Structure 1
């Protein structure tokens, strides 16, 4: 159904679709030097391969410099096919204190973040420090290099639940230290702080501050063992195991395919309004229970392959993590090209392809 592009790790039709949809953008990136943090993660690999594909296809003379703690490990274990890519450069270091490239960077994509996969006790401190110190370092580089644009990938977690619980009066909300250091609060507040810092600096130094508030995604390279529920469901389907919903299955999510994500991020980078946040995510709302059933159906599993452990509370409104997309549709004309079922199908096919070639 899909063919991995020679010299790349993504499907050729995904790369070609991204290239075609970004046709109006490429001319504005001709000769650009892009600096990317978080370049070895899910977002980063998709951005790197899409940019390299376009660079080769259109002879754009772009340079992509990626910040990584361990570039050699990344090239050896995850991306050996990128080792000799002429357009790709690496800077070794941490986001808070890396050595800036000598050649000025015209565009910066700051997509780095501290994950909490191992549930370490110091995660909240690391996330907050990385967000503040790392953003300060990016701002310093943008100012020194006279960069044209800085794109932040922040999160839908900036939208904290309202703490007003008594009509027009605000109740305090957090009931102790545990609430203040919770992943949802720390992650969301640190991301919003990054937005504020970058907007203030943009006014002072004159670069464009672009903000992509990212929600939930699916596609090749999405980690299957982390706390991404759709990744966990796809993992279980690939193994032929029962797909287990640990809760009651009522929370609502929406998912954007990674190929669409690249189109949206690069369009925001080049065409977005400075200081204006854009939500990035899927439009179709789906409950977690229904998502599990959709993964099972696309994988060709029987209807009883899904187990829902929790029991919904009668009359309770479902928790929702859904983006409003009116702004990005109206201002940038962006819409998802790949529906949820096709996104799941492509992700399953990519993992099966990799399993067959190991």
Structure 2
């Protein structure tokens, strides 16, 4: 069931509400700005916050930043128009006007890669947006700013001996290649936010995010999970472009929202926390899980294994997130896949 004013399933919203309960004292009466609010991260966060606010009587005010607010509210965000404690601002993340709004917390989830910029502009966009957020936080006396960084900061690098990336030095890497632009942008914004926090006194919360699934998962973004879910929804065989040996883990959107809000409220300033799933599997295994959840559509491995090749491993070490913040993935990958397929099936009716 999807409640009025929301697009997420009721059981997911209740799950987020329960996960946010320990944060009630910090979030009560807060005014929270979310950039990148119309994307995958943003929609889970905004709807989760609105639901938790009602469930726990938090009196939250949530402000979404959209490139075109009226268009968003007339389109896929039209269900949100009934919330009196929600404001949608229009503008570019590097220059938008706050229109007099004051923010106790900022979640900077804008994805510069989604803007379609060439590599020469990509880093400039990331820096400009983060600089504007720091200036806003300084002007507003903001308590905390959460940056949704990426596990890409660890790449390209020599494969970690443990098979998972920890929050320490990134290892040997060639930072000059084109594919490193996204990673370099995230590294720089982390440094900027940490420096800004020391200068202006707000807390810099940093979440290094890995791979996810759930409602609003992009089905054409070039990521394995989205591609596989798109194939399954179309009734096609799940197509694996490579040899299927790459290793990944996935966190469900409801867990993601809880983890990000926990890092926002409890994360130590300037200290990054990995955010991701704890069930490692090969891409071929993932494809078979999606196929089974969709009624056995079949799997086609299109690449051939290369003798002596090192497996592509993209996994978070979750020791710090669990040990310092008590974070655990509560929804298993198999269930997360089923929920993702169910949501898209309902929304397409």
Structures share fold, TM-score greater than 0.5: yes
Match of 1:18 in 2: 16
CA contact (8 A) 2:20 2:52 kept: no
User: Which residue of structure 2 aligns with residue 29 of structure 1?
Assistant: 27
8 Å CA contact 2:23–2:262 kept in 1: the answer is yes
Matched, 1:351 2:344: yes
Structure 2 runs not aligned, ≥5 long: 160-170
Tell me which of 60, 63, 86 is aligned to 1:62: 60
1:286 aligned residue (281, 290, 300): 281
Q: 1:40 aligns with which of 38, 41, 44?
A: 38
Match of 1:83 in 2: 81
Aligned-partner Cα distance in 2 for 1:172–1:314? 24
* 1:240 aligned onto 2:235: yes
**TM-score of the superposition, structure 1-length normalised?**
0.91
| Structure 1 contact 163–173 (Cα < 8 Å) conserved | no
RMSD: 1.8
**Structure 2 SS opposite 1:83:** helix
Equivalenced residues, count: 338
Q: Cα offset for 1:299? A: 1.1
More off after superposition, 331-340 vs 101-110: 101-110
Equivalent in the alignment of 2:103: 105
**Corresponding residue for residue 215 of structure 1:** 210
Q: How far did residue 171 of structure 1 move?
A: 8.6
- Paired residue for 1:273, among 268, 276, 280? 268
How far is the alpha carbon of 1:8 from its aligned partner?
1.0
Larger radius of gyration between Structure 1 and Structure 2 = 1
Using the alignment, how far apart are the partners of 1:47 and 1:226 within structure 2? Answer: 20
Whether contact under 8 Å (1:156, 1:323) holds in the other structure is yes
> TM-score, normalization: structure 2?
0.93
Runs of at least 4 residues off by over 2 Å: 114-117, 160-164, 170-174, 179-182, 314-317
Distance 1:125 1:89 in 2: 33
Q: 1:318-339 CA distances to partner (integer Å, 9 max, x unpaired)?
A: 1111100000000011100101
Please report how far the alpha carbon of residue 83 of structure 1 lies from its aligned counterpart in structure 2 after TM superposition.
1.3
- CA deviations over 1:116-138 (Å, ceiling 9, x no partner): 59xx6x42133211110110000
- Could you report, residue by residue, the CA deviation over 1:7-63 in whole angstroms, capped at 9, with x for unpaired residues? 211010110011012111022111111011000100001111111111122221111
- CA deviation vs aligned residue, 1:299-350 (integer Å, no higher than 9, x gap): 1115xx1110111112322111110000000001110010100000000001
How far apart are 1:172 and its partner, in Å?
A: 8.4
- The answer to whether structure 1 residue 123 and structure 2 residue 109 are counterparts is no
Unaligned runs of 5+ in 1: 165-169
User: Whole-Å Cα distance in 2 between the matches of residues 75 and 103 of structure 1?
Assistant: 19
Q: State how far apart, in whole Å, the 1-side matches of 2:334 and 2:56 are.
A: 32
